Structure 1
Amino acid sequence: MLTTDEAFRKFKSRLELNDREQQNASTRQNEVRDYLVTKFAIANSFLTGSYKRHTKTKPLKDIDIFFVLKDSEKDYKDKAPSVVIGDFHKALVDKYGEKAVRKQARSVNVDFGVVVDAEDNTEYRILSVDVVPAFASGDDYEIPDTDNGKWIKTNPKIHADKATAAHQAFSNEWKGLVRMVKYWNNNPRHGSDKPVKPSFLLEVMALQCLYGGWQGRFDYEIEGLFSTLADRIFDTWADPAGLGPPISDGMDATRKQRARDLLLAASREARSAINLAKQGRNGDALKAWRTLFGPKFPLS
């Protein structure tokens, strides 16, 4: 039987991107790009977000693709952000169909209709992408934000650099722990509404909530992380790049209270699993961790 540490290391490995998944993501990006360059003047496009930072969890969905528009499309900047989102939505509906395409505050989501099995496997295929219209602005980018009714600045490179620095400072275990907590956030036992939205907020919080250096125990780190996230969910969490609105603005007080309750419950469940292992009930401990996280956590 696996020890707790062996199970967590196997869990971490299962949540990491592999070559086949990266190839599928690249193929989908090129497919969408090859189509959209026939509809808009696009300077370049690139995969970004948590996928590029290696903090995306399984199953792989909502992978961000920035589509940097040429100066000839600058008229969009003089219009409401909803205009460019609407035009990208219409173009993508023409290719993928109304049911597969959905407007979001800063992007257009395209669902590829991939079925997820009971073990959260997708045959190495990504479920969906988020198409993000953007304009270059020096070293930064401007993207539409329909919630605020304006264009906002962002910088994916700064986000990636901060994640890399945090990972290195935590003995290269930071990204694995972030993926685990994001996977917990996706657990269907929470219902259709994730406890923490956007999931990027978990990553932003982990920049501060995972501190003190890696102590060598996944179980204790996870328990402490859940507890600290619960304690600080009501804090204001700024954009790590110092450009856009606070990442925590996506949750109101009611949502934050629900998230706090569920994060505290997760911390208690983690403590219970740790105690089961201490009692020599290793099989029960692994089952408890699997219940907490979901089917990617191994029992053997």
Structure 2
Amino acid sequence: MITLPDAFKKFKSSLELNEKERTNASKRQKEVRGHLEDAYDIADSFLTGSYARWTKTKPLKDVDIFFVLGDGEAHYRNKHPDVILTDFHKTLEDVYGRDAVKKQGRSVGVDFGVVVDSDDNTDFRVVSVDAVPAFVDGDNYVIPNNSNGKWMGTNPKIHADKAVAAHQAFSNEWKGLVRMVKYWNQNERHDEKPIKPSFLIEVMAMECLHGGWGGSHDREIQFFFATLRDRIHEDWPDPAGLGSPVSDRMDSAMIARAQRILDTANKDIAHAIDLGRKGKNGDALKAWRVFFGPKFPRS
């Protein structure tokens, strides 16, 4: 039977992107860009967000793709950001169908109809992407923000650099822990994610996972979940100092729901750790698998 430390290492490894998944993500980026280029002046496109920061968990959903609009689309900058999102939605709906395309607050989601099996496997394929219209703005970018009807500044490079710094300061264990918590957050037993957006988990981890790696995944998970519960109600600004607070999607009702779920999560974590402490390795493995989901190994 696998030991708990080895189970966490195997779990961490199972959530890392592999070459087949990166190849499929690149293929989807080029595919969607091809469709958008028929309708818009696309100066550049690239995979970004948690995918580019290596904090994306599995199954691969909502992979962000920036579509940098060229000079021919400059007129959109003077319009409500919903205009470009509506137009992107119409263009992609004509290709993928109404049920597969969804307009969101800052992007347009495209679902490729990939089936996720009972072990959260997708045959190394991306389930969905988020097409994000963007304009270059000096050294930064601006993207739509329908929550306030304005174009919002952002800088993926700053986000990536901060993630690298946090990872290195935590003995290169930071990204693995973030992926684990994100995997828990999208567990289907929650009906919908308790913490939105998933980037909020990452932003909180930049500040809360400090002091150096303690050497134990279960104890670090316990500490981080306790901190999530205690601080989920706070305002968490954009790490790049450009956009709206990352926590602005969490209204009071969503915060209260997240706190209730996190209360239960913290009890479940304490129970799993106690089983391991008592030498009940098999029961502890089962408890962690129930907590996280099917990617957590039992052997």
Distance, in Å, in 2 between the alignment partners of 1:180 and 1:262 is: 16
d(CA) in 2 for partners of 1:261, 1:281: 28
Show the 5 A alignment for 1:161-240: 161-191=161-191, 193-240=192-239
In structure 2, what is the equivalent of residue 28 of structure 1?
A: 28
Amino acid at match of 1:203: E
1:264: Cα distance to partner? 2.4
Q: Which amino acid aligns with 2:281?
A: N
| Corresponding residue of 1:271 | 270
The aligned amino acid for 2:163 is: A
What is the letter of the counterpart of residue 147 of structure 1? Answer: S
2:296 equivalent in structure 1? 297
Identity %: 64
- Residue matched to 1:86: 86
Please give the alpha-carbon distance, in whole angstroms, between the structure 2 residues aligned to 1:177 and 1:263: 16
The CA distance in 2 between the partners of 1:279 and 1:147, in whole Å, is: 49
Name 1:138's counterpart in structure 2: 138
Match of 1:256 in 2: 255
| 1:178 and 1:203 in contact (8 A); partners too | yes
Q: Cα deviation per residue 1:115-137 (whole Å; 9 max; x = unaligned)? A: 00000000000000000000000
CA distance in 2, matches of 1:260, 1:164: 29
Aligned partner of residue 144 in structure 2, secondary structure? strand
- Residue 290 of structure 1 contacts residue 297 of structure 1 at CA under 8 Å; is this kept in 2? yes
The alpha-carbon deviation at position 153 of structure 1 amounts to: 0.5
Match of 2:242 in 1: 243
Alpha carbons 1:100, 1:110 under 8 Å: kept? yes
Equivalents in 2 of 1:153, 1:80: separation in Å? 15
Residue correspondence of structure 1 range 96-135 to structure 2 within 5 A: 96-135=96-135
- Cα distance in 1 for partners of 2:93, 2:256 equals 37
Given that 1:276 and 1:285 are in contact with CA atoms closer than 8 Å, whether structure 2 keeps it comes out as yes
Contact preservation (8 Å) 1:224, 1:267? no
- Distance in 2, matches of 1:273 and 1:178, equals 19
Structure 2 counterpart SS, 1:228: helix
TM-score (norm 2): 0.99
Whole-Å Cα distance in 2 between the matches of residues 294 and 189 of structure 1?
Answer: 9
Residue matched to 1:18 = 18
Measured after TM superposition, the shift of residue 94 of structure 1 is 1.1
Q: Name the SS for the 1:64 alignment partner.
A: strand
Q: Do the aligned partners of 1:209 and 1:225 also contact (CA within 8 Å) in 2?
A: yes
Distance 2:82 2:279 in 1: 57
Structure 1 runs of 4+ aligned residues shifted over 2 Å read: none
Q: How far did 1:253 drift?
A: 1.1
Please give the secondary structure, in 2, of the residue aligned with 1:183.
Answer: helix
Partner of 1:143: helix, strand, or coil?
Answer: strand
Q: Structure 1 residues 139-148 or 119-128, which shifts more?
A: 139-148
- Distance in 2 separating the partners of 1:264 and 1:11: 23
2:72 is the counterpart of 1:72: yes
